Structure 1
Amino acid sequence: MTTLAADREIEHLMTLHPKGFDLSLDRITRLLERLGSPQDRLPPVIHIAGTNGKGSCAAFSRALLEAAGHLVHVHTSPHLVNWHERYRLAAEGGGKLVDDDVFAEAIARVAKANQGQKITVFEILTAVTFILFSEHPAEAAIIEVGLGGRFDATNVVERPAVSVIMPVSLDHEAYLGDRVEVIAAEKAGIMKRGCPVVIGAQESETALEVLIETAERLDCPTVVYGQDFLAFEENGRMVYQDEDGLMDLPLPRLPGRHQFANAAAAIAAVKAAGFEIGHRAAERAMANVAWPARMQKLTQGRLVDLAPKGAEIWLDGGHNPGAGVVIAEALAEQEEKNPRPLILISGMINTKDQSGYFSAFKGLARHVYTVPVSKSDAGVPNDELALRATDAGLSAEPVGSIANALMLLRDSWDGPAPRILIGGSLYFAGAVLDENGTPPT
């Protein structure tokens, strides 16, 4: 797929408009009015917010709906390798990433409608979402929040079929606040009066209280993980339970015990949005769900070829302490099934709690190689990141690149083939997939 036309449009926008976020709905609302309010002409919307698990919930929701035969649009952010990944348009047999010419035309149309007014590139690209999703037929649209909720540019859908709040924890403190109850209130901003709400598994009781109180104040029909629905492992299967009964399902294709709760939230969300999901469709969804760079096992590619022979390589873009905990737990599960020495190759950006992320791997990881993040101006220098890993109690050293880390490991390794986790940032994970020659499709 050629990406030149859309990339040129986006690069031009980058020269005109500020990078980053400017949380407000005024600019996006004004722009959408000029475009004829496409956000009001969408199929039923599943709107997903949260600190961690948003993308996995979107992936499970898509898998469930497509397994049941529905045509589904999906908007996620950020992308890993190509901008096109943010827009998956409904198609028979499963959604496809937007074609480059369709994408480029939509960007140009939105930019023209903006008439040079002050706006962020994310807001323009969100307006592109609404243009694309309103002009191509589908039976559902899954829309992931970019940042926060209340003032996120996606939060202009007045009557979502369901609002989903996935686990809330500290992240993006500069924009959202440094207390979990404040962040929960921002995420709860996507709830709309009288519209169904699904609250996923919450680690923080304080966050849960804020979410439930907001839903009650808005008279939203609400289901809560652990109270109204849940999922658990039994006899090597995943059991989903809600007021309608039990579904005995295969373990999700996405590894890690945390994915049970993400899958459960998606099942609850799809049902709350008014779709019937039969047992057979749910089985197919668990078996077929895919979500790149979230505990993704890399089995081939240019980087894989550089690793020690027989190494097991995992890629995950999780980048905050909450994500570190669930990734470490998933790797601990792998360790129980198949013991191997764990090595981290990590790159992170400077807006994240690096020591908090690394601390989750204390006692689990044997060594950390820290490398630069090539796809972000905000990347933490590899020597500084090594210090953060050391502060968290890990053995660490800086190296120049992912390839260098893998070759250094290969040339010095003596012992059982290692388990390697590459991660620490979605930007970093995207660079890995690009360099490995295995971009998302």
Structure 2
Amino acid sequence: MPIQLGLQRMRLLLKHLGNPQETFCAIQVAGTNGKGSICSYIYTTLLQAAIKTGRYTSPHFIEPRDTIHMNGQVASKEMFETCRKRVMDIDKRFGTNATEFELLTATAFECFCEAGVRVTVIETGLGGRLDATNVFDSPLVSVICRIGKDHEAFLGNTLEAIAREKGGIFRENVPCIIDSTNNPSVIQELKKVAQEVHAGPVYLASAKETNQAQTWSVTSPSWGTNDYQTSLNGSYQGANVACGVYALDVLTASFPLMIPHAQNGLKNTLWPGRLDFRDIPGVGKVLFDGAHNKDAAIELAKFVNLQREKNVSKSVSWMVAFTSSKDADSILDALVRPGDTVYITQFSSVQGMPWIQSMDSRVIQDYLSKKHIRALLVDEKNRKNALRSAVSQNPLTVVCGSLYLLGDMYKTLHLE
């Protein structure tokens, strides 16, 4: 079933399952870009403190069960299938007509309940207010990262309208963390929503660059000023680090967390497919990044252009695919320069989400041809060979445009 926002079906499904979401505490993370990184920072840090923790992020990368992690491991196939069957049986028995995302979310909650985790880090799927994950009456903390224009058909066509939907995760007397790099009008709208529901206190998370690579200085409420390093690339990670640290600081009211836990957690966080360099046998070094909307593409472009300036590669080879609903033109405008080569492909059908379609490659080719950019069509069977050709042509080769494409490529190339 395609996207159908609303909580009635989800609440009914969970009720018939015995409300598994009431067996653990939740940390909710919403926003447009950065949610996954923040969830991973918090999750890895909680594990550093030996706290039984679960993480639910979306969309899936390789297969649906990789959205569900517990205690440092992806949900086992056996547990996932057992919990999934239970959810499907209940859905059918009571006729709740849950969407695929609602079924997956309920399956995650069942897995967490089964595993006996104490706390979970929950990434909002779409928006916030009416998202299937927004079923917690008293989460430990609400985090809003960078908000941009995305899914306007569901969330509104202004940043303020989208912010209001994202702020729908706020709850009375629950601390709120907001990425301070957001547009001032977004921050103002989120503060207004927090005031309306009596949420708070509200913290604006910020970070300062240090002289050390991928290290930021963050001054959080009770921990004060400390440096935090991450293995994840990109200047935008500073804002994500700040949100993660602030949230973890707030969590000290509930868990025995200390600064070294956060420092080690952030340093050891892995989050595939985001400015992710991989050395592929028989192919060479390739940079993978989702970059599925304009704001994400701008951040990827900043990183790539730094490599250009360092003379790593003046021209770049790109392999791209986009979801049919995306504004591919604005993404390509942010990324591609004259002299670059673009290999255009399509991702395969998405398991559990048949309504998600890859954009027609010829549409992208026509657009690039008008801009006099060399564009080559690549079918699924020839992607690895095309990637090898791209790397031989340019030292910097980037695969981007959709996490669904990256999932295909990681599976084909046997990357973890």
Whether the TM-score (by the shorter chain) exceeds 0.5 is yes
Q: Given the alignment, which residue of 197, 200, 217 partners 2:196?
A: 217
Who is 1:6 aligned against?
Answer: none
CA drift at 1:153: 0.6
Q: Given the alignment, which residue of 398, 401, 412 partners 1:424?
A: 401
Who is 1:259 aligned against?
Answer: 237
Who is 1:312 aligned against?
Answer: 285
Structure 1 position 366 matched with structure 2 position 340: yes
Map 1:229-378; keep pairs closer than 5 Å: 229-236=206-213, 237-244=215-222, 245-250=224-229, 252-273=230-251, 274=253, 275=255, 277-301=257-281, 305=282, 307=283, 311-337=284-310, 339-340=312-313, 341-363=315-337, 366-376=340-350, 378=357
Who is 1:406 aligned against?
Answer: 387
Contact 1:328 1:360 (8 Å CA) reproduced: yes
Map 1:3-42; keep pairs closer than 5 Å: 18=1, 20-42=2-24
Stretch deviating more after TM superposition (429-438 or 116-125): 116-125
CA drift at 1:336: 4.3
Change (3 A) 1:317 1:362: closer
Q: Given the alignment, which residue of 385, 400, 410 partners 1:433?
A: 410
Distance 1:72 1:390 in 2: 49
Change (3 A) 1:410 1:338: closer
Contact 1:199 1:222 (8 Å CA) reproduced: no
Contact 1:110 1:124 (8 Å CA) reproduced: yes
Contact 1:343 1:365 (8 Å CA) reproduced: no
Specify the code of the residue in structure 1 equivalent to 2:243. Answer: A
Distance 1:118 1:286 in 2: 40
Measured against aligned partners, the alpha-carbon deviations of 1:173-216 in whole angstroms (never above 9, x if no partner) come to 22222221111111111111111111124442222221111112
Stretch deviating more after TM superposition (64-73 or 233-242): 233-242
Distance 1:167 1:365 in 2: 32
Distance 1:186 1:199 in 2: 14
What is the TM-score with the length of structure 1 in the denominator? Answer: 0.85
Q: What are structure 1's unaligned runs of at least 5 residues?
A: 1-17
Q: What secondary structure, in the 3-state scheme, does the structure 1 residue paired with 2:10 have?
A: helix
Specify the code of the residue in structure 2 equivalent to 1:142. Answer: V
Q: What secondary structure, in the 3-state scheme, does the structure 1 residue paired with 2:207 have?
A: strand
Measured against aligned partners, the alpha-carbon deviations of 1:350-405 in whole angstroms (never above 9, x if no partner) come to 11110111121244872211112223451112121123445677543323242242
Who is 1:15 aligned against?
Answer: none
Distance 2:289 2:138 in 1: 33
Q: What secondary structure, in the 3-state scheme, does the structure 2 residue paired with 1:422 have?
A: strand
Measured against aligned partners, the alpha-carbon deviations of 1:115-137 in whole angstroms (never above 9, x if no partner) come to 14322121111111222212322
Structure 1 position 109 matched with structure 2 position 86: yes
Map 1:159-174; keep pairs closer than 5 Å: 159-174=138-153
Contact 2:13 2:98 (8 Å CA) reproduced: no
Change (3 A) 1:404 1:220: same
CA drift at 1:410: 5.5
Change (3 A) 1:158 1:364: farther
Distance 2:295 2:153 in 1: 17
Contact 1:168 1:202 (8 Å CA) reproduced: no
Stretch deviating more after TM superposition (340-349 or 195-204): 195-204
Q: What secondary structure, in the 3-state scheme, does the structure 2 residue paired with 1:138 have?
A: coil
Specify the code of the residue in structure 2 equivalent to 1:373. Answer: F
Distance 2:366 2:172 in 1: 48
Distance 2:389 2:322 in 1: 20
Contact 1:355 1:392 (8 Å CA) reproduced: no
Q: What secondary structure, in the 3-state scheme, does the structure 1 residue paired with 2:210 have?
A: strand
Change (3 A) 1:37 1:55: same
Aligned residues: 402
